[in-house]
Structure 1
């Protein structure tokens, strides 16, 4: 969020962290004291709110966990699906089974061997509603999981599922040891990833150590990666300039410009699949009426939000941001701001006098949220729509968001290469995040089922175009814009590859000198 002015408490904390970093180093101690000096320090604005991968939705948590855990498939730098813990997979001719061959010799951080029983256990638990895994809907086509031998897993499916290989690549589908529990992993992560947990100081830092038994072809280049919590992006720039932080990913374009202007920091700009959105809970209060939601849609100039909050760095977007399935933002009831239409919709709803919408906003998870919220509030006020803003710390926002305890939410949501992974869990009636989405319909259920069952790319694009049209015509949410991330590195940092999905998976190839 815009971090121009933060509280005296936050300032004190940031100064305390900065002083601590000058006097001591985190990470495993060594006889020579040189390991920490060769490690990498990454500046972040929030502490992870969970270390349990199946429930992680906060960006900071995901960024840490994807370096601790492995998944059956992975994305390469171009977001193509490639082998992960499964070195190969094959779909039956009728599409009703997916057989995966697992890598041999893979171990968890605790030294135990990874095999098919861990995969079966993980997938069965993710599918169990009691687990409350955020990716459960991505396995909706899976009827059962078999482990015929230690190196083989068979997924029995209701039918073809074109999205499944991509859905298996997210950290919310991390493979866990069958012996582990959520309670244990929240304090002692035990994954197959390139790093292991070394040390955690709550609200200050979390340090990962190189996993020398990592199955990947190359071991991580650095002995440690410390995620250091500094609540303000501008303060992270100062820490980089003073040599205390070597890498950071910014959301605020103004901060990125400031960082690059100093001459000692290199900034790489990467377009993102993530999208900024005003989420509406269509099951609450006045928002139950589609006309009220359409009035909100028509009263917003998205380009103004983008220009005000993010200096115009990005593009106005429709629901689907994945390159192969991208929505046309002009195909919506009000492609441009139209206050006359907004008034007409409010009149149809019997709300000519206006409405009030209680709206939650996160402060600490991304840089532009408060500015977005304030601009939206100002624009909507002209249409007699009052956004009553409640600004929350990142962890409190996530708790309220997951509980669907809001009428509206100003949010930055992660985009994925496949639309089913992005939205199947939100907008289908049985999607495990449908409570958060606040909207579903029989038509969407049918369309998402068709999208999974169709393998032809052009046909899938046509199906998801209909999904996007339905979401826009019913103003389920108000999609605003997609922006950039700005990866800042100091001299001596090499080998990091930014990705369009915001992943920090290439910390494993990053070196620091």
Structure 2
């Protein structure tokens, strides 16, 4: 793919401690709709996607397709720019008290929701308190674990009082799972009629066919150049390629390098971007034989991760440990059995009093392209160690429902990454994390490490804490981390101004235009 831009480990590694520092400092620049000038152009962009969003409610969105739609409709207090640094969003600036226990946000004036109502501090208080409330079942609730209270001294000021300092909070607030909603709206209403403050507004949805957004003329930043964006559901990726080459679709993001290769022609270019997201075999340590650490370690030792990467993604990526955040990246060699060791796998099973074991694994079909190939390769490798992996292939929505409920023994998964490691794992591997039922594993040691990692601001000290977290997760085989890979953004020659991001965000649709 001659036009592809390759970003490998070296590039990610150069995003050093300076990146970590940028996550905790006050943001004061106006990111507007871009990192530079206002976009020019216009047009109606059609993006080919393989699945219909499974929800339009941002606090519960985990499916990639849903997140990509909703992040263009809703606003957050902070945002991430193209360098993954925290920049202003609905809050134009913020400051932290000297003791780190108070975080004050100053909101933009004149921001409105799609329905025309004003966004103010009351909406921010409502949103953050609702996310924290257990009955909401918000997927990012753990990101606010340090917050004791949310107060609004006036219409444009919000103060978060913290039980302990939280260096990860500004970055975590940039997730669409932390979207600021109108205090007048309900989940039921928003699932049919989203009402956000983002660069695009919801226009219409045809179930299993399309979701269409239109330019928000009242957006607080530069108005988007595009008049509309249609996310068109085309379940077969080869059909998306044909639609790109015929011009019926102008953009699509693939995760399968083979599909990306077939897409690139004279009129279609493909750009590869290294992703913070990671492929893993998630093990639910609360169920059956997987409750035994020796069984989990046997699975870890029976897998050649490079073979999974080569089989599923043509080797386009890197074997990874748990943490992919650039400034805190795990060493994949620092784990039991960094290379496949069937003898050691057999010994771990023997230590568990077993010679063979059977595990059910759920697999998503449609959310990302390499899932079934990964699952089948894992199945074949584990069989050689006396471990039977029974695969249950589910459509995307059914998979997400089972995953969120923790209703699985194992799950072949692609999870989103984060520039801050607490944002990646605090909600999974702490005993009170709201997604701990999904992880199925926690310990007092991890609880203490995560609490310390969240509270410490010194980059070197934080790196050491998260190294210990990574070591603990690997030595207990909480999950089996496999590899990171690339996203492949295919665009026709008429698409200008789009910037792919390492977290897979489509944030820069706001700077995109179509040329004739």
C-alpha deviation, 1:482, in angstroms: 0.1
C-alpha deviation, 1:321, in angstroms: 0.3
CA distance in 2, matches of 1:84, 1:452: 22
Alignment of 1:467-506 (within 5 A): 467-506=469-508
Equivalent of residue 112 in structure 2, options 102, 107, 110? 107
TM-score normalised by L of structure 1: 0.92
* 2:60 aligned with 1:55: yes
Retained in 2: the 8 A contact 1:50–1:186? yes
Question: C-alpha offsets along residues 205-225 of structure 1, whole Å, 9 cap, x if unaligned?
Answer: 000000000001x11111000
Question: C-alpha offsets along residues 121-144 of structure 1, whole Å, 9 cap, x if unaligned?
Answer: 000000000000000000000000
Residue 344 of structure 1 corresponds to 347
Residue 297 of structure 2 corresponds to 294
Equivalent of residue 254 in structure 1, options 244, 255, 258? 258
Task: Name the SS of the counterpart of 2:400 in structure 1.
Answer: helix
Residue 7 of structure 1 corresponds to none
Task: Name the SS of the counterpart of 1:101 in structure 2.
Answer: strand
* 2:72 aligned with 1:67: yes
Question: C-alpha offsets along residues 371-399 of structure 1, whole Å, 9 cap, x if unaligned?
Answer: 00000000000000000000000000000
C-alpha deviation, 1:456, in angstroms: 0.3
Retained in 2: the 8 A contact 1:94–1:159? no
C-alpha deviation, 1:242, in angstroms: 1.0
CA distance in 1, matches of 2:106, 2:455: 23
CA distance in 2, matches of 1:395, 1:292: 30
TM-score normalised by L of structure 2: 0.91
Residue 147 of structure 1 corresponds to 152
Retained in 2: the 8 A contact 1:44–1:248? yes
Question: C-alpha offsets along residues 3-42 of structure 1, whole Å, 9 cap, x if unaligned?
Answer: xxxxxxxxxxxxxxxxxxxxxxxxxxxxxxxxxx930000
C-alpha deviation, 1:200, in angstroms: 0.6
Residue 365 of structure 1 corresponds to 367
Alignment of 1:133-282 (within 5 A): 133-216=138-221, 218-260=222-264, 262-282=265-285
Retained in 2: the 8 A contact 1:295–1:342? yes
Retained in 1: the 8 A contact 2:43–2:225? no
CA distance in 1, matches of 2:220, 2:68: 20
CA distance in 2, matches of 1:234, 1:440: 42
Task: Name the SS of the counterpart of 1:390 in structure 2.
Answer: strand
Equivalent of residue 327 in structure 2, options 324, 327, 346? 324
C-alpha deviation, 1:326, in angstroms: 0.1
Structure 1: runs of 5 or more not aligned: 1-36
Task: Name the SS of the counterpart of 1:425 in structure 2.
Answer: coil
Aligned structure 1 segments of 4 or more residues deviating by more than 3 angstroms:
none
CA distance in 1, matches of 2:324, 2:43: 38
CA distance in 1, matches of 2:100, 2:201: 37
* 2:46 aligned with 1:44: no
* 2:467 aligned with 1:465: yes
Task: Name the SS of the counterpart of 1:372 in structure 2.
Answer: helix
Retained in 1: the 8 A contact 2:226–2:513? yes
Retained in 2: the 8 A contact 1:305–1:375? yes
Question: C-alpha offsets along residues 80-130 of structure 1, whole Å, 9 cap, x if unaligned?
Answer: 000000001110001110000000010000000000000000000000000
C-alpha deviation, 1:420, in angstroms: 0.4
Question: C-alpha offsets along residues 144-171 of structure 1, whole Å, 9 cap, x if unaligned?
Answer: 0000000100000012110000010000
Question: C-alpha offsets along residues 36-57 of structure 1, whole Å, 9 cap, x if unaligned?
Answer: x930000000000000000000
Equivalent of residue 444 in structure 2, options 438, 442, 466? 442
Retained in 1: the 8 A contact 2:213–2:230? yes
Task: Name the SS of the counterpart of 1:154 in structure 2.
Answer: strand
CA distance in 1, matches of 2:188, 2:394: 26
Task: Name the SS of the counterpart of 1:483 in structure 2.
Answer: strand
Retained in 2: the 8 A contact 1:362–1:394? yes
Retained in 1: the 8 A contact 2:113–2:197? yes
CA distance in 2, matches of 1:495, 1:180: 34
Equivalent residues, number: 474
Residue 395 of structure 2 corresponds to 393
CA distance in 1, matches of 2:192, 2:511: 26
Structure 2: runs of 5 or more not aligned: 1-41
Residue 318 of structure 2 corresponds to 315
CA distance in 1, matches of 2:144, 2:62: 18
Task: Name the SS of the counterpart of 1:426 in structure 2.
Answer: coil
Task: Name the SS of the counterpart of 2:353 in structure 1.
Answer: coil
CA distance in 1, matches of 2:307, 2:494: 39
Retained in 1: the 8 A contact 2:379–2:388? yes
Question: C-alpha offsets along residues 176-218 of structure 1, whole Å, 9 cap, x if unaligned?
Answer: 00000000000000000000111110000000000000001x1
Residue 96 of structure 2 corresponds to 91
C-alpha deviation, 1:263, in angstroms: 2.2
Residue 38 of structure 2 corresponds to none
Task: Name the SS of the counterpart of 1:294 in structure 2.
Answer: helix
C-alpha deviation, 1:264, in angstroms: 1.7
C-alpha deviation, 1:233, in angstroms: 1.5
CA distance in 2, matches of 1:233, 1:507: 21
